[in-house]
Amino acid sequence: MMASMAESEPRSEGTIRERLEQALRQGPATAKDLSRAAGVREHDVDHHLEHLARSLRARGERLASEPPSCFACGFAFRERRRATRPARCPRCRSPRISLPRFWIEAPG
């Protein structure tokens, strides 16, 4: 019988959000990186990051991000808040879009 992907990957102990926070404290990461580190689907990372951002704010820290951008024309998705990559660039319609990156910023 085949083991599921989540069962076969080694993970740290703790909740999903604790594992996400641990991964983000190691440096900038994409939703794909975080999904592997926390053992959740990439699609679910966005929801957990919203909650993690609230917890960080309560401690005086913040979840910072670098928005995705188009490799073809350079358009930056500055207003986008979701952790997922857009399908196409609104300016040139290219599907070659970078992944957004996230990290934790300490106060000061």
52-104 confidence digits (pLDDT tens): 999 999 999 999 999 999 999 999 999 888 888 899 999 999 999 999 999 99
User: What angle do helix axes 42-58 and 31-38 make, rounded to 10 degrees?
Assistant: 90
SS3 39: coil
Measured CA to CA, the distance from residue 32 to residue 38 in angstroms comes to: 10
CATH of domain 15-105: 1.10.10
Residue 77 confidence (pLDDT): 95
Domain boundaries along the sequence of the chain? 15-105
Measured CA to CA, the distance from residue 101 to residue 33 in angstroms comes to: 9
User: Based on the number of CB atoms within 10 Å of its own CB, is 80 exposed (0-12), middle (13-18) or buried (19 or more)?
Assistant: middle
